[in-house]
Amino acid sequence: MGSPVFAHASPSLSVVLDARVVVGSGGGPDKTILNAPRYLVPAGYRNLCAYMHHPADPGFEHLRSKAVAKAAPLLSVADRGPWDWRVFGQFLDICRRERVQIWHGHDYKSNALGLLVRRFWPMRLVTTVHGWVQQTRRTPLYYWVDRLSLRYYDKVVCVSEDLYHRCRAIGVPEDRCELIENGIDLEEYSRRQNLAEARRRLGLRNDRLLLGAAGRLSPEKGFDLLIRACDQLLREGLDFELIIVGEGDEWQALQALISQLGREDRIHLAGYRSAMQAWYETLDVFVLSSVREGLPNVLLEAMALEVPVVATCIAGIPRLVHHEHNGLLVEPGDPGQLAAALRRLLREPELRRQLGKASRETVAARYSFAARMDKFRRLYDQLLQRSGSATSITTLAR
């Protein structure tokens, strides 16, 4: 599938504003948000991305670079904390200046702001629920604000079936609730090199099996459980290394655990990486150990690149990963089960090959990004009472 051909934005295009709070270099939702604008232009939409971030956060420059690479118009909104409501004035100015017709929120603050801004600027409200996963002292209040806001939105999009049912349970009407799962750009995430070549290019050794995991270093990702499972397998004599890619507040605690176990030579925290595709291609197995999750992009990306996966059986993951067909599923929070699944894949190269092949086939058949954006195009058309594009985004992407 080739890249879509994107027309230049013109004043006649309907304007969609994606709003989100970000810290550091962002997370999984940003891969979707920043990839969307270039798909929507041929469907008649100009898509702006407005990110709230602390002015002193250096991670925003990583996001700026990603936006340039994806041809995504990125607007910086200075935000000095959860209760910095000066961002309201900034967003109102943006909406008036850009003549925004659809506000698309992605978290508690952007959802609450959308309701306030609409009082002063007429627009339709859409939000995507990515999952209420990260738990801190303040998150119960944030999630309460978020769930309260959802009831007043014109459309609430859920990325997994469990989130859809949770939104219905808190009072979102059926005709306003949509299930649109995450998707992957199949051309971008297509294997271009074998394991040996990929490792040589990244300076990684090629005489051991390599496990990988990726995500924000926070408790809900279960990286501590993964580290303990790998320690058990290393004590059994299995020869492999584990690399965890990501940044976050749990860095020191996870590094301390690795040191306590004496595994600094086998388990590594790699920090932020911009070239994720090249890193996936070095892996023998990708592991998702989360105890709370929606439908993670990292899992879709690894599977699109034919990497066999082990994942916890939570949220939308069982709709994607079918046990022993295109991956292995384990119960969340159980390092013993996680170790058993990894042991099996580490010992069975033919199983790794079969699962990797089936993974790519699954993503290609059901989770293409163009098909996902076609669903959003139809949703936006419906809200603005447009007749819709004559040609689908999926067709334009071929």
Q: Give domain status of residue 1, yes or no.
A: no
Same domain? 375 vs 360: no
Same domain? 240 vs 274: yes
Q: Which residues pair with 155 in a beta bridge?
A: 126
Residue with tokens 């006649």: 12
> Which domain covers residue 288, as residue numbers?
195-366
Q: Give domain status of residue 312, yes or no.
A: yes
Strands (E), 205-324: 209-214, 240-245, 267-271, 285-288, 309-312
Which among 225, 280, 203, 214 is positioned nearest to 247, based on CA atoms? 214
Same domain? 202 vs 86: no
Q: Give domain status of residue 3, yes or no.
A: no
Spatial neighbors of 46 by CB under 8 A, at least 6 apart, are 9, 10, 13, 14, 15, 16, 37, 40, 73
92: CATH: 3.40.50.2000
Same domain? 32 vs 122: yes
Same domain? 146 vs 226: no
Spatial neighbors of 64 by CB under 8 A, at least 6 apart, are 74
Tell if the pTM clears 0.85, that is, is over it: no
- Helix-, strand-, coil-residue percentages of the chain, each rounded to 5: 45, 20, 40
The sign one gets for the Cα dihedral 382, 71, 281, 268 is negative
Same domain? 81 vs 204: no
Same domain? 354 vs 261: yes
Q: Give domain status of residue 235, yes or no.
A: yes
| Spans of the chain below 50 pLDDT | 1-9
Same domain? 169 vs 312: no
**Helical segments of 123-261, H only:** 139-150, 161-169, 195-202, 223-235, 251-260
Q: Give domain status of residue 162, yes or no.
A: yes
Same domain? 142 vs 21: yes
53-102: pLDDT as tens digits: 999 999 899 899 989 999 999 999 999 987 788 999 999 999 999 999 99
Q: Give domain status of residue 263, yes or no.
A: yes
193-247: pLDDT as tens digits: 999 999 999 999 999 999 999 999 999 999 999 999 999 999 999 999 999 999 9
Rounded to an integer, what distance in angstroms lies between the CA atom of residue 162 and that of residue 39?
Answer: 27
Counted residue by residue, the chain has a size of 398
Spatial neighbors of 33 by CB under 8 A, at least 6 apart, are 18, 20, 49, 72, 106
Q: Give domain status of residue 6, yes or no.
A: no
Same domain? 343 vs 233: yes
Same domain? 33 vs 172: yes
pLDDT of residue 143: 76
Q: Are 104 and 18 in contact (CB under 8 A)?
A: yes
Number of domains in the chain: 2
pLDDT of residue 9: 43
Q: What is the DSSP letter of 3?
A: P
Same domain? 312 vs 330: yes
- CB-based burial label for 16 (10 Å; 0-12, 13-18, 19+): buried
Residue with tokens 């990125």: 74
Q: Give domain status of residue 7, yes or no.
A: no
pLDDT of residue 8: 41
pLDDT of residue 139: 66
